[in-house]
């Protein structure tokens, strides 16, 4: 009998996402197959005596084929995202908390600076997302921002960018847990300890983060988008009616076109940081594009999500501030009065939790893929794979919940996240990518100069936000806490 020889074809190799580790999983290689073929066989192996060897080797082949099937199914499962669903994912990933913080930012900065910064920073974010997408197309193996860090700085960059990615997203998840706590407390009328509601919010975020594919999450994204538009719309209409019926009508609302005279530098920059936070969609772009079946379509989603976000942010910030004036709160849904706030928060519950879960998925895909890089567990197609994924989701959400309780000041939590991380992921890091990874020839050549100037502007915005934004947020947190305007960390409070 001649030992069975496995036949390898290019198609079979493509079926394996990372063929080397597939072979490690089953302890099988091409070389071992060739050695088996070359090995001498006992003449007695002919006939029934050799059947045991045949079945033994067939079992090994079955195991190997099973591993290939799991890998192929895993790869197919994570490459089903089209540009329309990508646009939905990027919109809901950023738009929820960003929209809710803008009216208060406009109150601090004034109407004109607020509108100007929202539109300007929105177009800069679209530009930097274009750069991020170009890096992904040029280096298709870049699956997340940590991989981009490796392109820029080697292993050190991979570790630093990976850590920053996880810290940013866990803080965003904490923001959603905090917002969920505020929403549920508002609906309840403040009769239950807020820690109970923040824990419930964390559990909901955990459950919604269990689906590992962005394609599946995008389906919930449609519900998410309708939810935030409806909630903000209810708030705008209700506050507009209230302003119209108040003494003096709309002209009696005390809004200002320019910053308040008593506003401090730290307060102003916290407001700017909140606007920057609203345009954080580039942070997940590598991960989102990695699931696209046609990555070259990415700019369609960037333009769609960018324009929609600019429109919603500008209208929400300007109209809410114009109707509410100096009494505007953060999140904005608190400003509509007790009854309308309950209605708005009830409608906004899907966006609070679905958007938060998308941020969890971005971070967890990176962590899970890194932890199980050379294992079939990374495809999340087996019981052990699911167990590893759910365990990681639980741990990540728990950390986010702890952050939500440790920094219970909504605007400052968003500001700290944007100052430390969004400033880089959405602004100064893409600028560096242009000069180091994308630019061909002189940066000041006629062809490259427009993009180079845009990159310089993005770098300046990001660098200033990193330094001044972080400083201002820390100062503001200390001031709010010392003045008694902030709740104590981990305090059982009613709101």
pLDDT at position 188: 86
CATH number, domain of 272, equals: 1.10.4160.10
pLDDT at position 74: 47
Does a structural domain hold residue 5?
no
What lies within 8 Å, CB to CB, of 283 at 6+ separation is: 145, 165, 168, 169, 362, 421, 422, 425, 426
pLDDT at position 246: 86
Q: Which of 73, 57, 66, 68 is nearest to 12 (CA)?
A: 68
Q: Are residues 47 and 90 in the same domain?
A: no
Does a structural domain hold residue 466?
yes
119-145 burial code (b ≥16 CB/10 A, e <16) = eebbebbbbbbbbbbbbbeeeeebbbb
pLDDT values of the chain reduced to their tens digit, one per residue, 495 residues: 444 444 434 434 444 344 444 343 333 444 444 444 444 444 444 444 444 454 445 566 655 555 555 544 444 444 567 888 888 878 877 676 668 789 999 999 999 999 999 999 999 999 999 999 999 999 999 999 999 999 999 999 999 999 999 988 998 898 889 888 888 988 888 788 888 999 999 999 999 999 888 777 777 878 888 888 898 899 899 999 999 998 888 888 999 999 988 898 888 988 898 898 888 878 889 988 988 889 999 999 999 999 999 999 999 999 999 999 998 988 788 888 888 889 988 998 998 898 889 889 989 999 998 998 888 787 787 889 899 999 999 999 999 998 878 876 665 766 777 788 889 999 999 999 999 999 999 999 999 999 999 999 999 999 999 999 899 888 878 887 777 766 677 777 655
Q: Are residues 92 and 213 in the same domain?
A: yes
Alpha helices in 27-110 (DSSP H): 30-38, 51-77, 83-109
Q: Are residues 174 and 286 in the same domain?
A: yes
The two tokens of residue 43 are: 């003449």
pLDDT at position 249: 87
Q: Are residues 196 and 175 in the same domain?
A: yes
CB neighbours of residue 250 within 10 Å:
13
Q: Are residues 63 and 134 in the same domain?
A: no
Does a structural domain hold residue 492?
no
Q: Are residues 130 and 18 in the same domain?
A: no
Does a structural domain hold residue 487?
no
The boundaries of the domain holding residue 58 are 10-71
Does a structural domain hold residue 222?
yes
Which pTM does this prediction carry?
A: 0.77
Distance CA 147, CA 69 (A): 27
How many domains is the chain partitioned into structurally? 2
Tell me which of 19, 53, 71 is where a domain ends. Answer: 71
Tell me which of 29, 54, 71 is where a domain ends. Answer: 71
User: 368-416, pLDDT tens digit by residue?
Assistant: 989 988 887 877 878 898 999 999 999 999 999 988 788 766 657 667 7
Q: Are residues 17 and 159 in the same domain?
A: no
Per DSSP, what are the bridge partners of residue 81?
A: 292
């Amino acid at each position: 009998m001649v030992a069975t020889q496995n036949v390898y074809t290019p198609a079979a190799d493509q079926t394996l996402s990372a063929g080397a580790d597939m072979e490690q999983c089953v302890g099988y290689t091409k070389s071992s197959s060739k050695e088996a073929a070359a090995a001498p066989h006992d003449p007695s192996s002919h006939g029934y005596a050799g059947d045991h060897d045949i079945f033994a080797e067939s079992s090994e082949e079955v195991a190997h084929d099973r591993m290939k099937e799991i890998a192929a199914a895993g790869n197919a499962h994570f490459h089903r995202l089209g540009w329309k669903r990508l646009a939905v994912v990027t919109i809901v990933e950023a738009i929820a908390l960003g929209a809710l913080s803008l009216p208060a930012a406009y109150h601090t900065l004034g109407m004109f600076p607020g509108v100007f910064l929202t539109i300007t920073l929105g177009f800069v974010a679209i530009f930097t997302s274009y750069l991020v997408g170009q890096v992904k197309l040029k280096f298709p193996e870049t699956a997340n921002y940590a991989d981009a860090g490796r392109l820029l700085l080697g292993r050190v960059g991979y570790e630093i960018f990976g850590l920053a990615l996880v810290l940013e997203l866990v803080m965003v998840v904490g923001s959603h847990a905090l917002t969920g706590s505020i929403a549920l407390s508002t609906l309840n009328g403040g009769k239950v300890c807020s820690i109970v509601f923040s824990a419930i919010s964390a559990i909901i975020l955990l459950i919604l983060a269990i689906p590992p594919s962005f394609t599946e999450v995008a389906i919930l994204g449609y519900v998410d988008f309708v939810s935030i538009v409806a909630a903000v719309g209810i708030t705008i209409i209700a506050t507009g009616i209230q302003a119209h019926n108040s003494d003096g009508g709309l002209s009696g609302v005390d809004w200002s076109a320019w910053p308040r005279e008593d506003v401090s530098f730290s307060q102003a920059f916290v407001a700017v940081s909140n606007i920057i936070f609203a345009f954080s969609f580039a942070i997940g772009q590598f991960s989102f594009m990695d699931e696209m079946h046609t990555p070259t379509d990415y700019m369609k989603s960037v333009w769609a999500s960018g324009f929609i976000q600019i429109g919603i942010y500008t209208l929400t910030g300007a109209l809410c501030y114009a109707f509410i004036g100096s009494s505007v709160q953060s999140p904005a849904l608190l400003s509509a009065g007790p009854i309308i706030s309950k209605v708005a928060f009830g409608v906004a519950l899907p966006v609070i939790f679905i958007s938060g879960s998308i941020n969890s998925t971005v971070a967890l895909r990176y962590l899970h893929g890194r932890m199980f890089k050379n294992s079939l567990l990374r495809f999340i197609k087996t019981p052990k794979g699911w167990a590893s994924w759910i365990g990681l989701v639980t741990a990540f959400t728990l950390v986010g919940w702890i952050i939500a309780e440790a920094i219970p000041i909504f605007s400052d939590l968003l500001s700290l996240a944007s100052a430390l991380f969004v400033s880089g992921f959405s602004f100064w890091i893409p600028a560096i990518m242009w000069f180091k990874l994308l630019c061909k020839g002189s940066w000041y050549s006629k062809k490259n100069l427009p993009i180079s100037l845009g990159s310089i502007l993005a770098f300046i915005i990001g660098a200033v936000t990193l330094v001044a934004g972080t400083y201002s947020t820390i100062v503001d947190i200390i001031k709010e806490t010392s003045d008694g305007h902030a709740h104590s960390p981990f305090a059982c409070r009613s709101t």
